[in-house]
């Protein structure tokens, strides 16, 4: 079977190579070279959009009213959670899961029409945003036309019954990637959105459940249309990043910082993670860093429920360690509730007190090449802090730009002399005070306090 799949993959690639170049419908707004994509990716910040919960209306048109504010926030790539119709059969809750796809080539009528969606993408492009959509290749909803018309495309048990990928995921049916025809149909559906709506890439749900060679075949097809940004919901398959994806999830690090916030782990565990992860990412790729997202918010709890007083420090952390940072819908409004996943549950935008905080972080990343993504940025180096398990101290440097971060990762004040290798003058980015390093510098930080210093 594996040999057959390999031969068929080669066949499809040869056929594709013989076809005329595919072009998006909106060529002027959406086509760019690989070099141009690298340029807009180098300092990009991701923003995850939950259309259903973003506004009381829950529509593309209502969300578009927030674009000027997001432009002010400084984010670059808008990741839209699934925009497809949601299956009704075996639905969970009254509205169902965004990830139970009824039709890969249509939009959810609750959000608007296809024309509404195209209008949103055009507005985003006009304002300088790039847009990626969530793609669910691993499974479909139970009333997707493929279930009826192509039942052989699905995974079945010993009785011949189609099954979910995981028992608890009872609202979706598992696709069988041993079927070449299904693979081609899936890639065709993804190509459709690139060509018809001029989106700029995909965040791929349950990427770990789909074979690597499928993602590579899909990426080859996308490349025949335009360069795209690809984010994998995956961490354990680093080979995915060699040809198919630019980024994956830093899940292990995310769980470590949650444990540090709870006092279960220390700064030493963070240092150990990076020492183990050193140089593991293929050239040109990098992880996505985050303190929340749709899964964490709805199932694990809000940022403050999980991290308490450590939340702001770890937000700074997510913007200053290697990787592309993510802001989730409502994070800039201090989202203080777990959004319902299968029901309507609008975000409260009445308090934008965190807007300035995140705006400063996006500006910090943009203005300091040391913090840029992947090979465009600087590597991470830890500062020796003796036997302290409270202080996390690190620097990133690129050319003449250097960023130093000091964090007290505990609920107790920190006072200690720290030795530095060289004498340099830094400016505190938030407080604008100067710091001159030398053989010994007295570092004083309150509980969960952080300092960001730059040298340009």
Distance CA 188, CA 214 (A): 12
Q: What is the DSSP code string of 262-311? A: TTSS-HHHHHHHHHHHTT-SPTT-EEEE-S--HHIIIII--HHHHHGGGH
- Residue ranges for the chain with pLDDT beneath 70: 1-30, 277-279
Q: At what angle do helices 311-320 and 251-261 cross, to 10 degrees?
A: 150
* DSSP H or E segment with residue 137: none
What are the tens digits of pLDDT across the range 114-152? 999 999 999 999 999 999 999 999 999 999 999 999 999
Residue in 123, 136, 146, 141 with CA at minimum distance from that of residue 197: 123
The string of DSSP letters for 198-249 reads: ---EEEETTGGGS-HHHHHHHHHHHHTT---EEEES-SS-TTHHHHT-SEEE
Tokens of 116: 């509404």
Count CA within 13 A, CB hemisphere, residue 95. Answer: 16
CB 354, CB 333: distance < 8 Å: yes
Q: Angle formed by the axes of helices 267-277 and 251-261, to 10°?
A: 170
Q: Which helix (H) or strand (E) holds 450?
A: strand 450-455
Integer Cα distance of 225 and 220 in angstroms: 9
Per-residue pLDDT tens over the stretch 424-436: 889 998 887 888 8
φ, ψ of residue 253 to 5 degrees: the values are: -65, -40
62: alpha, beta or left, given left = phi > 0 and alpha = psi -120 to 50? alpha
State pTM to two decimals.
Answer: 0.93
The domains of the chain, with CATH numbers, are: 2-377 (3.20.20.80), 382-455 (2.60.40.1180)
What gap in Å lies between CA 256 and CA 270, rounded to an integer?
7
Query: Looking at residue 23, what is its pLDDT?
Result: 66
d(C-alpha 359, C-alpha 330), whole Å: 14
212-223 vs 180-197: helix axis angle to the nearest 10? Answer: 40
d(CA 297, CA 53): 12
Q: Strands, DSSP E only, in 40-181?
A: 46-49, 77-80, 130-135, 139-141, 172-174
């Amino acid at each position: 079977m594996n040999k057959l799949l390999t031969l068929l993959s080669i066949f499809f690639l040869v056929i594709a190579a013989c076809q005329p170049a595919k072009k998006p419908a909106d060529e002027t707004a959406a086509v760019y070279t690989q070099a141009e994509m690298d340029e807009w990716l180098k300092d990009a910040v991701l923003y995850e959009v939950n259309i259903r919960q973003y506004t009381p209306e829950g529509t593309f048109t209502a969300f578009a009213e927030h674009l000027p504010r997001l432009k002010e926030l400084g984010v670059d790539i808008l990741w839209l959670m699934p925009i497809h119709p949601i299956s009704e059969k075996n639905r969970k809750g009254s509205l169902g899961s965004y990830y139970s796809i009824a039709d890969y080539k249509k939009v959810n009528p609750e959000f608007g029409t296809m024309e509404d969606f195209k209008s949103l993408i055009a507005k985003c492009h006009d304002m300088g945003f790039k847009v990626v959509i969530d793609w669910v290749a691993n499974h479909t909803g139970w009333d997707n036309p493929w279930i009826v018309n192509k039942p052989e495309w699905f995974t079945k048990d010993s009785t011949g019954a189609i099954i979910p990928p995981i028992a608890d995921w009872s609202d979706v049916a598992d696709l069988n990637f041993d079927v070449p025809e299904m693979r081609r149909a899936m890639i065709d559906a993804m190509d459709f959105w690139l060509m018809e709506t001029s989106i700029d890439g995909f965040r791929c749900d349950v990427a770990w459940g789909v074979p690597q060679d499928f993602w590579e075949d899909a990426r080859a097809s996308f490349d025949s249309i335009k360069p795209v940004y690809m984010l994998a919901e995956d961490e354990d398959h680093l080979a995915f990043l060699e040809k198919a994806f630019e980024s994956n999830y830093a899940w292990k690090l995310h769980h470590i910082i949650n444990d540090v916030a709870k006092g279960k782990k220390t700064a030493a565990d963070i240092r150990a993670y990076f020492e183990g992860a050193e140089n593991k990412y293929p050239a040109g790729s990098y992880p996505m860093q985050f303190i929340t997202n749709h899964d964490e918010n709805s199932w694990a709890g809000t940022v403050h429920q999980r991290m308490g007083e450590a939340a702001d420090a770890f937000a700074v952390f997510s913007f200053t360690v290697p990787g592309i940072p993510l802001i989730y819908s409502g994070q800039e409004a201090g989202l203080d509730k777990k959004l319902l996943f299968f029901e309507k549950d609008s975000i409260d935008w009445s308090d934008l007190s965190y807007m300035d905080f995140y705006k400063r972080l996006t500006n910090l990343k943009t203005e300091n090449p040391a913090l840029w993504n992947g090979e465009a940025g600087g590597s991470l180096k830890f500062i020796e802090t003796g036997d302290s398990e409270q202080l996390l101290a690190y620097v990133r440097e690129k050319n003449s730009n250097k960023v130093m971060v000091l964090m007290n990762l505990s609920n107790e004040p920190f006072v200690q002399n720290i030795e530095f290798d060289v004498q340099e003058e830094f400016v505190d980015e938030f407080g604008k005070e100067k710091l001159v390093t030398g053989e010994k510098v007295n570092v004083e930080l309150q509980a969960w306090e952080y300092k960001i210093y730059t040298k340009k």
